[in-house]
Structures are given as structure tokens and as C-alpha cells.
Amino acid sequence: MARATSFTYKVTVVSTGSGNKYVIDGNQQQYVILSPGGTFRFDQADSSNSGHPFRFSETDNGSHAGGSAYTTGVTVAGTPGNAGAYTEIEVTSSTPVTLYYYCTQHSAMGGLIDISSSVNGNRGYILGGAVGSAPGPGTNKIESIIINTLGNASDFGDLTTSDHRSGFGSSNSTKSIVAGGGNPSNINVISCMINNSLGSAHDFGDLTASTRRGSAVSNDTRCVFGGGLTPGIVNVISYVTIAEQGNATDFGDLTTATGDMAGGLNSTTRGVFAGGATPSKANTIQYITIASTGNATDFGDLTQARQFCAGVSSSTRGVVSGGNSSPTSPTDVMDYITISSTGNATDFGDMTTIFDDSGFMGVSNSLRGVWSGICAPSNGTRSTIMEYITISTTGDTLDFGDLTVATNFGMASSDGHGGLS
């Protein structure tokens, strides 16, 4: 019996200044994620593939670097550049966690393939936002990075709407949840994306009210949304159970109505919101116990009052960075807290680039935090820059790579942040 194809990638070839390169679904030398239990076809029917047989190897650049073709579960059909030509692989639990695709005839055309079990707990997503000159149009683009591997982001899929601009998001190990936004009118839409499976988001449910510029925290079970603008600043906290598609439910209230807080500060039991605007810039840190509905409790203070900051966390430490302390005073300050111990934040270091305006995004796992989403208030220019820290070690940020498109006002999620066991 012929096996069913789980997903088909369109392969083309483009000539560049450094030679020919494979293009996967429109992305040059695309980083590819494949999941065990699936069969994946790389279609070479496009005429540009003529003379460029597509193969897999456990060695980067395959036979050109002394390696050989990986053939287990692989089917090759037709002649590249002609109808019916493809290379297909059945991925099982025995498939190597890292493969490479390459051209048997020409060096340096291919790229990296990760089997999804090898990247669980290591992937970050930048979802939607605004592009172009400020204020700029919304985008439904989803980009992804491997947090432990320095490099540029790659295309992952699309959100259900570009109206999630200025929304808020979080995740568990299998799903990312994004909610609200305004482009320009506020929306109450909640969307869901399956982590580590290339593709687009789908509808999940609705918020209790149409909201933008809120914040989110999560653990394995719940995603909790706090504050934001409806259009006035609110103190509402609501939540969804990530495994159960449906509308958000009331959770409790923030200590003070606040928007533009840093979220993403999670342990397996606590979620922490920091900074924001009330509408004055705030240094307040407040927390909830994610498993227990109820009002937020005072945690302590940041070293500096600011809004539009962003958070990352391991299971024990949360780091808040950037933002602005006034419309014309961006800050490069980073603070950290020990999530299990209430108290004031402590200086962590400085950002190399000042992430100085609204809507920049942070993703993290147990080792690293990565930030993106710069927009300079002086001229509205957005940037592709990403910077990172090692969460356990105080110090300044380092260069990570670039987004595929300059974006801010987006949302962020990761499948290995501090709230996940």
C-alpha cells in the first residue's frame, strides 16, 4: 500500500552571487522541521530544478563534504525539472534528529532539517505585528528561531488575521496562543498555532472583551491574559485552558489597571507582569498563581518605571528589558527577579541596541532569552535585529541574528519557557 504524504514542499532553484541555491516554499535554503509519524515530499517539478537532484544526508553539504545520501524511508521519483519529480521521506522515531538536504551535483545549495522531537523546548515564535514605517500595516506573518542556535529567523506560517497587531501571546510545549490586538480597531479574537509543525494558525475562541496591548503568561495548562486597552486601560485578567478550544474566562483583577506590561515571566506555578502604563509609566511588578483564579498580588518594583518593556524567563529567573520611561526616553536597562521570591528587581545588564518603542517581543527557554522588535520613536524606523542573553548569567545582550522582515507590535511565544515542566 502506498503511504500517504503528510505535507508537500515546493522546491525551486535560484541563482545567486554565491551560486545556485534551493528555495523551499519561497524561502532560500529554508530551515525545515519534520515531525515523526509523517511523510514529507519535496516536489522538484519546477523547471528550475533541472540538473539539481535533491537528496538527504546526515552530513552538512552531503557528498561534497565527505558524507553520503541518507536513504532510509526515502523515495525518489522522476527527473528534476519535470512533472512528477520528487524526493520523499518517511520520518519515524528512528530517523536521525538532524538531517541536511543537498544537491548531488553542486555544492552549498541546501540547508538544515530538524526532526521536531529534537527542537522541542528550543523554539521561539514571533507572530504578527506591524511592518513598514510607523504606524505601518499589520502583518499575519509567523517567524521562528531555534533559541539555542544563533542565526536568522525563518518563515513558519500565517496567523488567521493581520489584526493581531498589538496583541499578546504565550504558549505551552505544543500550542501557541495569540489574542486581541488592534489594526486599528480592537479585536477579541484568540488564535492557536501548533508548535514545531510548519503551518498556519486557526481560530481558538474569543476574549472577554476586545483588547490590545495586554500581556500574557502561561504554564503547561493555562494561558492567562492581563490588562491592556479596551480602549481605556483595564485591570481585567482572563484565561483559557490551552488544551480546550473555547472562549476566555474571567480570572481576577490586576492590582491596578495597566497596559503595555512585560509578560512572559513564568514559572510552572507563577505568572508575573511588570512595568507598563497606568497611564503613567509604572515600576510595579505583580504576580498570580496560574492554577488558581484570583486577583494579582504585589511582587515588588522594577529599578526604573517604564512601559513597552518585554520579558523572558527560565523556570526560576525572569528578565525584563528595554522599553521607555517617557515618550522621548528609551532605555537599555535590563532587570531580573527570582520568580519564587517576592521583592524588588535587580540590575542584570544593558541591551546593546536600545529596544526603544512599543511592541518588542521576547522568547526564551531554560538557557536563553531572545528579544526582537525595535522601532525608533524619532523616525518610526523598524529593525530586524535580534539580541540574546544567557538567563542565568548577568551581563549585556549579544547579537543573535535577524528577523526576515522588520517588525514590532508583534507577539511572541516559545515551547520551552520557564512556565513549562
pLDDT in tens, 286-317: 999 999 999 999 999 999 999 989 999 999 99
Task: Provide the grid cell at 116.
Answer: 521536531
* pLDDT (tens digit per residue) in 150-160: 888 988 889 99
Predicted pLDDT of residue 62: 96
Q: Find the range with the poorest average confidence among 167-176, 331-340, 375-384.
A: 375-384
Residue 2 pLDDT class (50, 70, 90 cuts): very low
Domains in the chain: ranges and CATH: 7-117 (2.60.40.420), 121-414 (2.120.10.80)
Predicted pLDDT of residue 141: 92
CB 387 within 8 A of CB 351: yes
User: What is the gyration radius of the CA atoms in the chain, in angstroms?
Assistant: 22
Q: What is the pTM of this model?
A: 0.75
List the one residue out of 338, 264, 262 whose CA is nearest residue 300. Answer: 338
From residue 344, how far is each of 302, 303, 317, 323 by CA, in Å?
A: 6, 8, 13, 18
SS3 letters for the chain?
Answer: CCCCCCEEEEEEEEEECCEEEEEECCEECCCEEECCCCEEEEECCCHHHCCCCEEEECCCCHHHHCCCECCCCEEEECCCCCCCCEEEEECCCCCCCEEEEEECCCCCCCEEEEEHHHCCCCEEEEEEEECCCCCCCEEEEEEEEECCCCCCCEEEEECCCHHHCCCEEEECCCEEEEECCECCCECCEEEEEECCCCCCCEEEEECCCCCECCEEEECCCEEEEECCECCCECCEEEEEECCCCCCCEEEEECCCCCECCEEEEECCCEEEEECCECCCECCEEEEEECCCCCCCEEEEECCCCCECCEEEECCCEEEEECCEEECCEECCEEEEEECCCCCCCEEEEECCCCCCCCCCEEEECCCEEEEECCECCCCCCECCEEEEEECCCCCCCEEEEECCCCCECCEEEECCCCCCC
> Is residue 421 pLDDT above 80, yes or no?
no
Residue 1 pLDDT class (50, 70, 90 cuts): very low
For residues 225 and 122, the model is more confident at 225
